[in-house]
A and B are shown apart, each in its own frame.
Chain A
Amino acid sequence: MYAYDTFDRNIIDARVAEFRDQVERRMKGELTEEEFRPLRLMNGLYLQLHAYMLRVAVPYGTMSSKQMHRLADIATKYDKGYGHFTTRQNIQYNWPKLVETPDILTELADVEMHAHQTSGNCIRNTTTDQFAGATRDEVEDPRPYAELIRQWSTFHPEFSFLPRKFKIAITGAGQDRAAVKWHDIGLILRKNTEGEIGFEVIVGGGMGRTPVIGKTIREFLPEADLLSYLEAILRVYNEQGRRDNKYKARIKILVDALGAEEYGRLTEAEWHKIKDQHIDVPEEEVARIKAFFTPPPLPVLSDDVEEVDTFARENFIFKSWLENNTNPHKVLGHVNVTISLKPHDGIPGDATDAQMHFVADLAEKYSQSEIRVSHEQNLILPHVAKKDLPEIWKALDANGLGSANVGLLTDMIVCPGMDYCALANARSIPIGQAIADRFDDIRRLQDIGPLKLKISGCINSCGHHHAGHIGILGVDRRGEENYQISLGGSGAEDATKAALLGPGFDEHGIVDAVEKVVAVYLGEREEGEEFLATYRRLGPTPFKEAVYDAD
Chain B
Amino acid sequence: MTLINLSGIHSETYRELENDELPATGESVLVSLGQLQENSTSIFELTSSVGVIVNTETPYADLEEFVGRVAFVDIRFPVFGDGRGFSLAVRLRKDFGFKGEIRASGHVLPDQALFLLRAGFDSVDAPDERHEAFEAALKRFGAFYQTDMIGHGKSVAHLRHSADKDKSATQKAG
Contact = CB atoms under 8 A, between A and B. Distances in A.
Interface of A: 5-8, 10-11, 14-15, 17-18, 21-22, 35, 38-39, 42, 121, 151-163, 235, 238-239, 243, 273-274, 277-279, 281-282, 284-285, 288
B90 interface: yes
Interface stretch (B36-44, B98-106, B135-143): B135-143
Contacts of B90: 158, 235
Given A158-B119, A281-B157, A121 B81 contact: yes
Interface of B: 59-60, 80-84, 86-87, 90, 94-95, 109, 111, 114-119, 136-137, 140-149, 154-161, 169-170, 172-173
B161 A282 contact: yes
A11 B83 contact: no
- Residue with the highest number of chain A CB atoms closer than 10 Å, among B59, B90, B114, B146: B146
Contacts of A6: 169-170, 173
Q: Which 8 A-B pairs have the closest CB atoms?
A: A161-B83, A157-B118, A281-B157, A6-B169, A285-B157, A151-B145, A157-B119, A7-B156
Contacts of A235: 87, 90
A3 B133 CA distance: 33
A153 B157 CA distance: 13
A154 B83 contact: no
Given A161-B81, A238-B84, A278 B141 contact: no
A14 B119 contact: no
B147 A282 contact: no
Contacts of B173: 6, 10
B109 to A, nearest CB: 7
Contacts of B82: 161, 243
B83 A157 contact: no
Contact of A278 (B80, B136, B145, B158): B158
A18 B140 contact: yes
22 contacts: A10-B169, A17-B140, A21-B136, A35-B109, A121-B81, A151-B145, A155-B144, A156-B145, A157-B116, A157-B118, A157-B144, A157-B148, A158-B149, A159-B83, A161-B81, A162-B83, A238-B86, A239-B87, A243-B84, A273-B95, A278-B147, A288-B161
B135 to A, nearest CB: 13
B141 A155 contact: yes
Q: Max chain A CB contacts within 10 Å: which of B59, B117, B157? A: B157
A452 B86 CA distance: 42
A519 to B, nearest CB: 50
